A and B are shown apart, each in its own frame.
Chain A
Amino acid sequence: MSQDESKSAPDGPHPTPLLDQLEGGKWPSFVTGLKRLRDTQGAQYAPMMNDLLGQLEHSYENRAGYWKGGTVSVFGYGGGVIPRFSEVAAKFPASKEFHTLRVQPPAGFHYDTATLRKLCDIWERHGSGLIAFHGQSGDIMFQGCTTENVQKAFDELNEIGFDLGGAGPALRTSMSCVGHARCEMSCYDEARAHRSVINEFLDEMHRPALPYKFKFKFSGCGNDCVNAIHRADFAVIGTWRDDMKVNQDEVRKYVAKAGRKYTIDTVIAMCPTRALSLNDDDTLSVDNKSCVRCMHCINVMNKALSPGDDRGASILVGGKRSLKVGDLMGTMLVPFMKLDTDEDFDRLVALARRMIDFFAENALEHERIGETMDRIGLPSFLEALEIEPDPNMVLHPRTSSYVRTDDFTEESEKYFERKARENGLDVAAE
């Protein structure tokens, strides 16, 4: 990023024989889009996109990447910009700085066209004209900006109500499924949960100071359309406590249309806990105490079956990919919490706060909270977070006898007291 300033881009576009081959085929081509930007007469980004295409072609030729990181930020924030400086800027000077602004999307990824056009206009003025909807982080990725223009682009995006997302060791941008907006499976207000939690901890997002990344994701049911259990440190998954709802007329209609054998093979026999039975009159019996809210039968017969009325969410903690102990999925820590009233959402935010605070104070550098859980053991982790053990947390109780159990009786008494209290609280609605 230095002395090659004086060199101007070569006359005309860089040849891109390899990338050109990605313009055929039936799927929309990103290369065609990049070329459109390169060929826009008079656009401030056209030279940048010419050199960007040149560098990308260079990567295709040599099968190597040529970007390096650095430090670029906006005034008042520490994170949210992914800096990229070219290692081949001498050959491709106009794209020597090609930073990305990570911008948080509206919950549920809803847009109107007026807003999208404004985003395009801002990015035409200050950036490359290339936008990804959306990155794996959930962010709108405004890809390709000079260091100088990052602040200008952010200021304008911020003026119309958008904010930077997370990067580095920080609270990360979150995602929520379409949920309440257009899905009958939705068991809580995902957008409200998403915004209540994330907007409470923006300081942790904008000024990275955590041991490592921390991600929340919000799915309205066990179908988990935003992949929360795999990908989030804190997954909020919609569920319900009472019986699922069955419209027997619609069940009969479904069986009449789909066939009895097909219904048995694809619905009854696929229930993971054998909780379903098709009666001789083509109505459905559900053993709700055995049902695990997996969603399969509701997905298939969604006109006949639906989640119960006593809805809320389960919280699973500790999902992540391989680095460094191996893949971890979120582990069930809170089998059920209501998410209806202001107080319910306050409780969710309070739990999130306890989790982030614990993570900030106790995780090792570059350790995800799932690894912290493994390192200290679930009993200690629960104690620190003031969460009581629950059989929904395990596949089965321990099989190893190597544990000191001299306070087993006291712990049992606590369990029975807690159960009694829970039953009492339900009645008193305290």
Chain B
Amino acid sequence: MDAPAQMRRPDEVGVPDPMPLMHPVLRKNYGAWAWHDRPRPGVLHHVAKGGDEVWTVRAGTQRQMDVYTIRTLCDIADRFAEGHVRFTTRSNIEFMLSAESKVQPLIDELGRHGFPVGGTGNSVSMISHTQGWLHCDIPGTDASGVVKNLMDMMHHEFTHEEMPNRVRITTSCCQINCGGQGDISINVQYTKPPKINHDLVNKVCERPAVVARCPVAAIRPAMVNGVPSLEVDEKKCVCCGACYPPCPPMQINSAESTKIAVWVGGKHSNARSKPTFHKLVVANLPNNAPHWPEVSEVVRTILSAYKEHGRHYERMGEWIDRIGWPRFFELTRFAFTKHHLDTWTGARKTMNMSAHVHF
């Protein structure tokens, strides 16, 4: 503070160049790969146009890693995988090997340290998730804990390729949904309007910005107990929580009313069908730390129905497109309610405007 002259100016280097960090076989064959196959779950085998081959072993991590875990992974990479790794967008770690003979010893070593090998092809890959109670300022639930429970439950499905197609699961600790779209998405769903601490609103919130943030215009300025504050039209409020980040005195979370909803059929890829958003299946599940058993049960039910009835290469949403939503709700035994009927902008386009029905 008292010696600003000594402050170091940042070197605005931006995105680091991956080339010096990249496995030499990858660097040598950059842009020149020919084909690949998967010798076993968790292992990819890529062949370059010039004939070079590389084996990749993919393992699950806990994403939030202590330096000891990272150093263990580095030790493994140094001893068995030529000192290079990369991470996937779902926080799996990948070890690249220039000889097939090194694959099994690496898998054995990862197993000794408790890192599951899998997440390739038609498996359930690692859940992409958010921060939750560990670090977020607005979370309705934890992230790492929910994910730990689910991945324990789905360990077999991570290490085996037995699903009709890949399954990408996400979790999010609030309705902003930082976890993103997924074949199955497990997201906090608030069920009550915010509880307002009127003593604080005027001190910490920029009121016009909060009013503007509300997607249904349910917030208006008001004088409460003689101080400027905000009030919520609770009949209009959709309990989305959008007012809470810019105005923490509008508390959206509570131990009772913060619930969890499960959605299905989101898809990022353009393969076969176009990308899709996930759709609501079940809401109002309790936020039941530390094991969230009700959430696990719903996910297990959806996964097993998909595993049993999906055809090879159908993603979750494509399977449901084929069998229809009536059959989906029949197979999974979840209730179809008025809350499944969209009411947002463009809702009519989500309705069945045809005489096509499933029986």
List residues of A whose CB falls within 8 A of some B CB.
18-19, 21-22, 24-31, 33-34, 36-37, 52, 56, 59-60, 62-69, 74-77, 82, 84, 98, 100, 104-117, 119-120, 123-124, 129-136, 138, 143-144, 151, 154-155, 158-159, 161-164, 174-175, 177-178, 180-184, 186, 189, 191, 194-195, 198-199, 202, 206, 222-227, 229-231, 237, 262, 265-266, 270-272, 292-296, 299-300, 302-303, 306, 321-327, 329, 365-366
Known contacts A25-B151, A107-B17, A265-B311; 7 further A-B pairs (Cβ under 8 A): A25-B152, A124-B67, A136-B178, A151-B7, A182-B46, A224-B269, A237-B270
Residue of B nearest to A223 (CB): B269
Q: Are A65 and B83 in contact (CB under 8 A)?
A: no
Chain B residues within 8 Å of A294, by CB: 270-272
Instruction: Offer 7 A-B interface pairs, CB within 8 angstroms, sorted by A.
Output: A36-B68, A63-B255, A202-B12, A226-B89, A321-B178, A321-B180, A325-B215
Q: Are B66 and A324 in contact (CB under 8 A)?
A: no
Choose one: A68, A162, A295, A306; the contact of B13 (CB below 8 Å): A162
A104–B148 CA distance with the chains assembled, in angstroms: 26
Chain A residues within 8 Å of B135, by CB: 67, 82, 84, 98, 100, 143-144
Residue of B nearest to A155 (CB): B8
A294–B272 CA distance with the chains assembled, in angstroms: 6
Q: Are A224 and B67 in contact (CB under 8 A)?
A: no
Chain B residues within 8 Å of A129, by CB: 66-68
Q: Are A162 and B62 in contact (CB under 8 A)?
A: no
Which residues B41-80 have CB closer than 8 A to chain A?
46, 54, 56, 60-71, 73-74, 77-78
CB distance from B185 to the nearest CB of A (A): 11
Please give the number of chain B residues whose Cβ is less than 8 angstroms from any Cβ of chain A in the complex. 119
Given contacts A30-B148, A158-B10, contact A181 B34 (CB under 8 A): no
CB distance from B326 to the nearest CB of A (A): 23
Interface check B176, CB cutoff 8 A: yes
Q: Which of A68, A224, A227, A230 has the most CB of B within 10 A?
A: A227
Chain B residues within 8 Å of A120, by CB: 67, 70-71, 74
A104–B16 CA distance with the chains assembled, in angstroms: 8
The 7 closest A-B pairs by CB, nearest first: A25-B152, A222-B270, A33-B66, A59-B133, A199-B14, A27-B151, A113-B74
**What is the count of residue pairs linking A and B with beta-carbon distances less than 8 angstroms?**
363
Given contacts A113-B78, A322-B177, contact A162 B16 (CB under 8 A): yes
Which residues B220-243 have CB closer than 8 A to chain A?
240, 242
Q: Are B115 and A133 in contact (CB under 8 A)?
A: no
Chain B residues within 8 Å of A325, by CB: 215, 345
Choose one: B11, B93, B213; the contact of A324 (CB below 8 Å): B213
Interface check B336, CB cutoff 8 A: no
Residue of B nearest to A143 (CB): B135
Interface check B134, CB cutoff 8 A: yes
A138–B88 CA distance with the chains assembled, in angstroms: 10
Chain B residues within 8 Å of A265, by CB: 311-312
Given contacts A22-B290, A77-B10, A195-B17, contact A178 B62 (CB under 8 A): no
Interface check B307, CB cutoff 8 A: no
Q: Which of A64, A162, A262, A306 has the most CB of B within 10 A?
A: A64
Q: Are A112 and B84 in contact (CB under 8 A)?
A: yes
Interface check B179, CB cutoff 8 A: yes
CB distance from A265 to the nearest CB of B (A): 7
Which residues B8-29 have CB closer than 8 A to chain A?
8-23, 26-27
Q: Are B253 and A64 in contact (CB under 8 A)?
A: yes
Residue of A nearest to B133 (CB): A59
Q: Are B67 and A60 in contact (CB under 8 A)?
A: no
Interface check B277, CB cutoff 8 A: yes
Interface check B149, CB cutoff 8 A: yes
Q: Are B70 and A65 in contact (CB under 8 A)?
A: no
Interface check B287, CB cutoff 8 A: yes
Q: Are A182 and B54 in contact (CB under 8 A)?
A: yes
Chain A residues within 8 Å of B74, by CB: 113, 116-117, 120
CB distance from A21 to the nearest CB of B (A): 5
Chain B residues within 8 Å of A84, by CB: 135, 137
Chain A residues within 8 Å of B209, by CB: 365-366
List residues of B whose CB falls within 8 A of some A CB.
4, 7-23, 26-27, 30-31, 33-37, 46, 54, 56, 60-71, 73-74, 77-78, 83-89, 91, 93, 96, 114-116, 128-142, 144-145, 148-149, 151-152, 155, 175-181, 209, 212-213, 215, 240, 242, 248, 253-255, 258, 266, 268-275, 277, 287, 289-291, 311-313, 344-346
A325–B215 CA distance with the chains assembled, in angstroms: 7
Q: Are B134 and A180 in contact (CB under 8 A)?
A: no
A180–B19 CA distance with the chains assembled, in angstroms: 11
Residue of A nearest to B253 (CB): A64
A189–B209 CA distance with the chains assembled, in angstroms: 41
Residue of B nearest to A58 (CB): B133
Chain A residues within 8 Å of B85, by CB: 110-113, 116
Q: Are A182 and B26 in contact (CB under 8 A)?
A: yes
CB distance from A374 to the nearest CB of B (A): 9
Q: Are A184 and B46 in contact (CB under 8 A)?
A: yes
CB distance from B269 to the nearest CB of A (A): 5
Q: Are B269 and A295 in contact (CB under 8 A)?
A: yes
Chain A residues within 8 Å of B33, by CB: 182-184, 186
CB distance from A54 to the nearest CB of B (A): 12
Chain B residues within 8 Å of A154, by CB: 10
Given contacts A27-B155, A272-B272, contact A113 B84 (CB under 8 A): yes
Residue of B nearest to A104 (CB): B15
Given contacts A22-B149, A26-B155, contact A132 B64 (CB under 8 A): yes
A366–B210 CA distance with the chains assembled, in angstroms: 11
Chain B residues within 8 Å of A64, by CB: 133, 253-255
Q: Which of B61, B115, B175, B209 has the most CB of A within 10 A?
A: B61
A16–B61 CA distance with the chains assembled, in angstroms: 22
